[in-house]
Amino acid sequence: MEVFAVEGLPEVRPGDDVAELLVRQADLRDDDVVCVASTIVSKANGRGRSLSSYEPSGRAERIAATIEDIANEEKDPRMAQAILDECEEVLVEAPFILGVTEFGHITVNAGIDRSNVPGADLLLLPEDPTAEAEAICDGIRERTGVEPSVIVTDTSGRPFRLGQRGVALGWDGLPASRDWRGEHDRDGRELEATVQAVVDELAAAANLVTGEGDGGTPAAVVRDFDFGDHAGSEQLFRDPEKDVVRQALREWSHVRD
Amino acid sequence: MEVFAVEGLPEVRPGDDVAELLVRQADLRDDDVVCVASTIVSKANGRGRSLSSYEPSGRAERIAATIEDIANEEKDPRMAQAILDECEEVLVEAPFILGVTEFGHITVNAGIDRSNVPGADLLLLPEDPTAEAEAICDGIRERTGVEPSVIVTDTSGRPFRLGQRGVALGWDGLPASRDWRGEHDRDGRELEATVQAVVDELAAAANLVTGEGDGGTPAAVVRDFDFGDHAGSEQLFRDPEKDVVRQALREWSHVRD
Ligand SMILES: Nc1nc2c(ncn2[C@@H]2O[C@H](COP(=O)(O)OP(=O)(O)O)[C@@H](O)[C@H]2O)c(=O)[nH]1
Ligand SMILES: Nc1nc2c(ncn2[C@@H]2O[C@H](COP(=O)(O)OP(=O)(O)O)[C@@H](O)[C@H]2O)c(=O)[nH]1
Ligand SMILES: [Mn+2]
Ligand SMILES: [Mn+2]
Ligand SMILES: [Mn+2]
Ligand SMILES: [Mn+2]
């Protein structure tokens, strides 16, 4: 399996066609997995925003003040408002805002980026990353006849472990997971619940070659990945009612009486 | 960057030398990252156990009964005891046991495996995976003069997202993370806190080619990964007192009065 960055992509602007940009820079194959940073999908979709377009609600003001208080970190109430606007549910208000996006991803600041966004104060995540992955996949097929899989990725933090890693937000052309249930181990014993989130592992692999800073690139190709002869599963985000960590966070508050 | 499985490894037994097994099967290079499944490190270290060697405490009996009750899933109290023995702290007792291992990893069942363990009922994680990674690295160097990086990996679940993915438990020869703080984005703006957990991303990439079932292999090589000219950071596990999710779980209980 090979992982390489797509070099030479331009600064992406609202209205740009990401599929067109990709096929100009890379000779893609049917069994490639093209991992595209959500940043450029958002830029193409015009998801850049200026802070001055946000009018903070009382809640946003209160959250920003609490964060300033306990995290000792400047928090613009308009940024808090932008985050609230992107959240279907807020799980943690302080010391940082942890939110659930409309499409089910749970991440700090609802994934709003303030880096790598020339010409805007902030960049929202794509509204429907799986629809975007499908559109990029379709666009590549229409232009080249080749139909690779596409994953729209982000770099995101996680509980328990420091640092961030690449994750999948949306995908097309492959299942989210390899489902090993019912298959057997080396001892002939049936494997216990084992669902392998391959789209996240592919996104993580891609993130190793794309990077975060000004020297990076916003797309990578995984070539010769073999999904293998396994069942697939489409769901990547936990059912809210069965997610213990989500339940616990709903009940928790950093601010004590 | 290339990722390939190390083929032809035997069934690993207590006392085996993992470095020796690896160098027999792969021509390694100095800048390779060798990802080794914790399963074979544990087998070589004699970490297989039989259930009958565990005498469940009252707490283990109670936890097993509660899980049977609410998760409707058979739970052997001796297995609960094995898990408790491996935990420095138990964060969740039911509907599953989520524990913190001595070396700081948080995972269900303290990472004890019941698959791929011929000749034993269960397999404990290595006691000190970073020491094991160092030993494998040293063993490879002594035998070949070549000194690749080594990551001891596991396949593990996570909050919010379904399924499991490869993670690093221990590592040697490279930092845990690329630390991008102080570097600049495409707009010349200083990057916000951005620490990229590359050892986890490498473990995830490796897991794509190793697999879970009887047809897989327990080691993979990542070749031509470029860490780049970045600061490194050694810590992978969050400081318990700063980990909001850990705090929330400590206070949460599935069993209500
Ligand atoms: N060529 C190009 N690269 C970009 C653009 N936007 C971001 N990047 C690069 O793509 C990589 C990923 O960007 P990042 O902001 O981390 O994306 P995210 O992980 O989706 O939030 C970084 O190395 C950026 O320098 C763009 O419009 N054009
Ligand atoms: N050759 C060989 N393969 C093994 C051995 N133990 C496990 N495997 C394979 O290595 C892969 C990883 O095993 P797994 O139990 O998922 O390891 P873990 O992710 O560290 O828990 C699977 O494909 C297993 O079939 C062994 O002793 N020898
Ligand atoms: Mn982002
Ligand atoms: Mn990124
Ligand atoms: Mn395991
Ligand atoms: Mn595994």
Q: Is the dihedral of CA A221, A224, A225, A229 positive or negative?
A: positive
Cβ separation B159–A164 shorter than 8 A? no
| pLDDT value of residue B159 | 96
Q: Is the dihedral of CA A132, A136, A138, A139 positive or negative?
A: positive
Compute the C-alpha angle B199/B203/B207, nearest 5°.
170
Using the predicted structure, report yes or no on whether residue A257 has a pLDDT greater than 80. no
| pLDDT value of residue B216 | 76
Those residues of chain B that have pLDDT short of 70 are 193, 255-257
Ligand 2: atom nearest CA of B207 is: 19
* Arithmetic mean of pLDDT, A161-181: 96
* Arithmetic mean of pLDDT, A13-17: 97
Q: How far is B95 from chain A (nearest CA, A)?
A: 8
Residues 129-168 of A with CB under 8 A from B: 155, 158-167
Residue range B108-162, pLDDT digits in tens:
999 999 888 888 999 999 999 999 999 999 999 999 999 999 999 999 999 999 9
CA of B40 relative to ligand 2 center, distance in Å: 7
Confidence tier at A184 by pLDDT (50, 70, 90): confident
Which ipTM score applies to this complex? Answer: 0.97
Residues 51-110 of A with CB under 8 A from B: 92, 95-96, 98, 106
Residue range A190-239, pLDDT digits in tens:
887 689 999 999 999 999 999 777 777 999 999 999 999 999 999 999 99
The overall average pLDDT reported for chain A is 94
Q: How far is B137 from chain A (nearest CA, A)?
A: 22
| pLDDT value of residue B180 | 86
Better-predicted residue by pLDDT, B171 or A181: B171
**Smallest CA separation from ligand 1 atom 8, residue:** A218
A17 phi and psi, to 5 degrees?
-105, 105
| pLDDT value of residue B33 | 98
H or E segment and range at residue B193: none
Number of A/B CB contacts below 8 angstroms equals 247
Ligand 2: atom nearest CA of B216 is: 23
Residue range A62-94, pLDDT digits in tens:
999 999 998 888 899 999 999 999 999 999 999
Better-predicted residue by pLDDT, A191 or A49: A49
A12 labeled binding residue:
yes
In this structure, what DSSP letter does residue B118 have? T
| pLDDT value of residue A255 | 58
To test the contact with chain B by mutation, choose from A39, A79, A208, A230 the residue with the greatest count of B C-beta atoms within 10 A, namely: A208
| Torsion-angle region of A19 (φ positive above 0: left; ψ -120 to 50: alpha; else: beta) | alpha
Residues touching ligand 2 (Cβ under 6 Å) are A 186; B 9-12, 37-40, 43, 113, 115-116, 154-155, 210-214, 216-218
CA of A181 relative to ligand 6 center, distance in Å: 13
In this structure, what DSSP letter does residue A161 have? B
Residue range A103-128, pLDDT digits in tens:
999 999 999 998 888 889 999 999 99
Residue environment code for A235-245, b if the CB has 16+ CB neighbours within 10 A, otherwise e? ebbbebeebbb
For chain A, how many helices (H) and strands (E)?
7, 13
Better-predicted residue by pLDDT, A51 or A184: A51
| pLDDT value of residue A62 | 96
CA of A118 relative to ligand 3 center, distance in Å: 14
Which domains can be identified in chain B, with CATH numbers? Answer: 1-42+126-257 (3.30.1330.100), 48-125 (3.90.1660.10)
CA of A217 relative to ligand 4 center, distance in Å: 9
Q: Is the Cβ of A193 closer than 8 Å to some Cβ of chain B?
A: no
Q: Please state, in angstroms and rounded to a whole number, the distance separating the CA atoms of residues B58 and B55.
A: 10
H or E segment and range at residue B222: strand B219-223
| pLDDT value of residue B257 | 43
Residues 6+ apart with CB under 8 A from B183: A212, A213, A214, B190, B191, B230
Cβ separation B186–A249 shorter than 8 A? no
List the one residue out of A78, A80, A104, A114 whose CA is nearest residue A94: A80
CA of B11 relative to ligand 2 center, distance in Å: 9
Q: Are strands B33-37 and B149-156 parallel, antiparallel or unpaired?
A: parallel
* Arithmetic mean of pLDDT, A144-164: 97
Strand partners, B233: B177
Q: Please state, in angstroms and rounded to a whole number, the distance separating the CA atoms of residues A183 and B110.
A: 23
Ligand 1: atom nearest CA of A10 is: 1
Nearest CA in chain A to B186: A214
Compute the C-alpha angle A238/A136/A14, nearest 5°.
100
| pLDDT value of residue B255 | 58
Q: Please state, in angstroms and rounded to a whole number, the distance separating the CA atoms of residues B189 and B186.
A: 7
Q: Using an 8 Å CB-CB cutoff, list chain A residues near B167.
A: 161
Residue range B141-155, pLDDT digits in tens:
999 999 999 999 999
From residue B137, how far is each of B142, B171, B220 by CA, in Å? 9, 9, 14
